[in-house]
Amino acid sequence: MTFREKAEVLDQAGLDRALTRIGHEIVEQAGGADLALVGIKTRGETLAARIAQKIASIEGQRPAVGALDITLYRDDLGTRVEQPQVRSTEIPFSLKGITVVLVDDVLFTGRTIRAAMDALMDLGRPRVIRLAVLIDRGHRELPIRPDYVGKNLPTSRKETVAVMLAEHDGQDRVVIQEPEEGEASADGAAPRKREATTTPPRRTIKKGRE
Amino acid sequence: MAWTRKDLVSMQDIEAAEIGEVLDTAESMKEIATREIKKVPTLRGKTVVNLFYEASTRTRTSFEIAGKWLSADVINFSASGSSAEKGESFLDTARNIEAMSPDVVVVRHKAAGGPALLARHLRCSVINAGDGAHEHPTQALLDLLTIREKKGHLEGLNVTIVGDIAHSRVARSNIYAMRRMGMTVTVAGPPTLIPPACQELGVKVSHRLEESIAHADVIMMLRLQHERMTGGFIPSLREYSRVWGLGLDRLQHCRPDVLIMHPGPVNRGIEISPEVADSQYSVILDQVTNGVAVRMAVLYLLAGGKAA
């Protein structure tokens, strides 16, 4: 199944402004001390590093940044044909008593965030966990809501949101994609990943991955 | 590369990309061992049966820890004290265990081909944890992980495997896997312990220890299995140790960054001297640590994706 671009949601400047605002909001609410950003792999990790940079330029101090792989905590293991690839979790600091801001690119069903919170709890006991996402596209399946949002984006379930970042995709932009006409069920394998079933959002935005 | 195998029985037909996937997954799994709470919920509700017909502490414990850290229920079955002693056949025992719906059966058997037989007859996944003198795939995988971790890569490395090649399932699995990863393998040992058709596996053969290890990046010393040394293979343990044992004196002619490996259990003073086993070159305990990670990776890849 192929997708065609329907609309550009954020360009490079827009994406940068959104991250700047999120950085300001985090500092305003949480302060700069005892703060860590934990990005959900892969694009969340990149976004966390960028937001940390923004906070560094506001506060003069860069918060700790970690990366979380949630594969081992997914709720759809064993229901897929293949096992998703396990990547490493890198959180080289203690979570005890600090404010952790989870960072992801797209918030969709909320299942990734559920998994991420379970993973964090296994690693320590943060004082507070907050959630920052670049895009909130709706269609939640769990009672989860973001604290910092780059852009709210109403979508249909058939569409996908592709977040492209220079580090991975050579450019910074966010686009909505929709399936090509008349091709909706042409391919047996791809729609499982692409369509909004119970698959977490990260799996739906794999356009142009590394 | 997608992992689509039901079983892990042999390294003979495994692709380089599949080995790469296991090693990458294992590398990620290693982080769990550093946690305060060493448990992830990944295989919750899955059952792993360790079906061991031959003595083992390291491998069985390693599989047990791996399964438990992934939240699987791990049941140990050993042949002694079981219905196998009452005359139940291997396949009947396995079918009875399968009737209790395990997801993975880890099997060690003294007969070569035992795990392959189960893999054909059981619907669940089967992992070969050593079958006679045939294969020991997870040992080869943990050896590769250890080498890759220490050297940064696998391709182009020279590995010398020393000792009883003929009776070694570790050697055979490693030879298949290392050849697949583009490594050069030399086997060294007394002629009685090197199978005559060994070159067909794509390895070099040497009958002199110093010569075989001079350019090696990795030296893998095999355990002299004295329980199998009743057929006149070696004149005496002392003589074997003098000619084929690795001591500090022999290491002087090796590369300064050589890795010394041993699949365990170590016969100190026979195939390897205590000074070498405990030296800075030795990665024997890293191998054990990596064994858990590799087995977690294999359990994850085999057990997780079945229900679809």
Rounded CA-CA distance A99/A132 in Å is 13
User: How much is the pLDDT for B175?
Assistant: 97
Nearest to B233 by CA among B184, B284, B194: B194
Residue of A16 and A82 predicted with greater confidence: A16
pLDDT of residue A207: 39
- A83–chain B nearest CA distance, Å: 5
Per-residue pLDDT for A29 more than 70? yes
Q: Point out the residue among B35, B46, B70 whose CB comes nearest to the CB of A123.
A: B35
Hey, what are B18's tokens? Answer: 């599949």
The pLDDT, as a whole number, for residue B104 is: 96
Give the pLDDT confidence score for residue B43 in this predicted structure: 94
Q: Tell whether the model's pLDDT for residue A138 goes beyond 70.
A: yes
| Sign of the dihedral through C-alpha B88, B133, B246, B154 | negative
**Chain B residues whose beta carbon lies within 8 Å of the beta carbon of residue A90:** 31
Contact A89 B31 (CB under 8 A): yes
Q: What is the pLDDT of residue B88?
A: 87
In this complex, the residue of B36, B42, B308 whose CB is nearest that of residue A80 is B308
- pLDDT the model gives residue A175: 96
The sheet with strand B47-52 has its strands ordered as B73-78, B47-52, B104-109, B125-131
Percent pLDDT > 70 in chain B is: 98
Question: CA of B37 to nearest chain A CA: how many angstroms apart?
Answer: 7
Phi-psi region of B259 (alpha: psi -120 to 50; beta: other; left: phi over 0): beta
Contacts of B130 (CB under 8 A, 6+ apart): B54, B56, B59, B108, B109, B136, B139, B169
Q: Given this model, what pLDDT does residue B254 score?
A: 94
> What is the per-residue pLDDT across B198-256, written as a single tens digit (0 to 9) for each?
899 999 999 999 999 999 999 999 999 877 777 889 998 999 999 999 999 999 989 99
What is the structure's pLDDT at B303? Answer: 82
Q: Which residues pair with B105 in a beta bridge?
A: B49, B126
State the maximum Cα–Cα separation within chain A, in Å, rounded to a whole number.
54
* pLDDT class of A79 with cuts at 50, 70, 90: confident
**Look-up of token digits 């990776």:** B297
- pLDDT tens digits along B91-129: 998 899 899 999 999 999 999 999 999 999 999 999 999
| Residue B31 near chain A (CB below 8 Å) | yes
- Work out the percent of chain A whose per-residue pLDDT is above 90: 75
Reference B96, options B66, B71, B121, B69; nearest CA is B121
CB contact under 8 A, B40 and A69: no
- Spans of all domains in chain A: 3-204
Architecture category of domain A3-204 in CATH:
3-Layer(aba) Sandwich (3.40)
Tens-place pLDDT, residues B168-207: 999 999 999 999 999 999 999 999 999 988 899 999 999 9
Biggest alpha carbon–alpha carbon distance for chain B: 57
Per-residue pLDDT of B49-79, as tens digits, reads 999 998 888 999 999 999 999 999 999 988 7
Q: How far is A208 from chain B (nearest CA, A)?
A: 17
Report, as an integer, the average pLDDT of A174-185. 77
Residue type, B33: A
The shortest C-alpha distance from A87 to chain B (Å) reads 5
More reliable by pLDDT, A39 or B78: A39
Nearest to B305 among A82, A87, A124 (CB): A82
Closest-CA residue to A103 (of A73, A75, A65): A65
CA R_g for chain A: 17
- pLDDT given for residue B205 in this prediction: 96
Query: What is the reported pLDDT for B307?
Result: 40
Residue-wise pLDDT for B27-41, tens only, equals 999 999 999 889 999
pLDDT value for B1 = 58
Contacts of B149 in chain A (CB under 8 A): none
Report the distance separating Cα B171 and Cα B176, nearest Å. 9
B131 burial level (CB within 10 Å; 0-12, 13-18, 19+)? buried
Q: Which whole number is the average pLDDT over B73-88?
A: 81
B126 by DSSP, 3-state: which? Answer: strand
Q: Which residues of chain B make contact with A79, given a CB cutoff of 8 A? A: 307-308
Nearest residue to A82 (alpha-carbon basis) of B156, B303, B245, B158: B303
Degrees to nearest 5, angle at CA B112 with B110 and B113: 120
Q: For B301, which residue in chain A has the nearest alpha carbon?
A: A83
Contact A134, A15 (CB under 8 A): yes
Structure confidence at residue A209 as a pLDDT band (50, 70, 90): very low
Judging contacts by C-beta atoms under 8 Å, the chain A residues touching residue B304 are: 77-78, 83
Chain B residues with CB-CB distance to A119 below 8 A: 40
Q: How far is B237 from chain A (nearest CA, A)?
A: 46
The DSSP string of B141-200 is HHHHHHHHHHHS--TT-EEEEES--TT-HHHHHHHHHHHHTT-EEEEES-GGGS-TTGGG
Domains, in order of start, for chain B: 16-135+291-303 (3.40.50.1370), 137-287 (3.40.50.1370)
More confident position, A198 or A34: A34
Please write the tens of the pLDDT for every residue from B146-173: 999 999 999 999 999 999 999 999 999 9
- The model's pTM is 0.88
In which band, very low, low, confident or very high, does the pLDDT at A61 lie, cut at 50, 70 and 90?
very high
Q: What is the 3-state secondary structure (H, E, C) of chain A?
A: CCEEEEEEEECHHHHHHHHHHHHHHHHHHHCCCCEEEEEECCHHHHHHHHHHHHHHHHHCCCCEEEEECCHHHCCCCCCCCCCCCCCCCECCCCCCCCEEEEEEEEECCCHHHHHHHHHHHHHCCCCEEEEEEEEECCCCCCCCCCCEEEEECCCCCCCEEEEECHHHHCCCEEEEEEECCCCCCCCCCHHHHHCCCCCCHHHHCCCCCC
- Of A13-17, B8-12, B262-266, B302-306, which gets the smallest average pLDDT? B302-306
pLDDT at B306 over 90: no
**Per-state percent for chain B, helix, strand, coil, to nearest 5:** 40, 15, 40
Instruction: pLDDT band for A195, please (50, 70, 90 cuts).
Output: very low
- Mind listing the pLDDT tens digit for each residue in A158-176? 999 999 999 999 999 999 9
- In chain B, which residues have their Cβ closer than 8 Å to the Cβ of A85? 21, 24-25
The contacts of residue A180 (CB under 8 Å, 6+ apart) are A1, A2, A3, A4
**CA A169 and chain centroid, separation:** 15
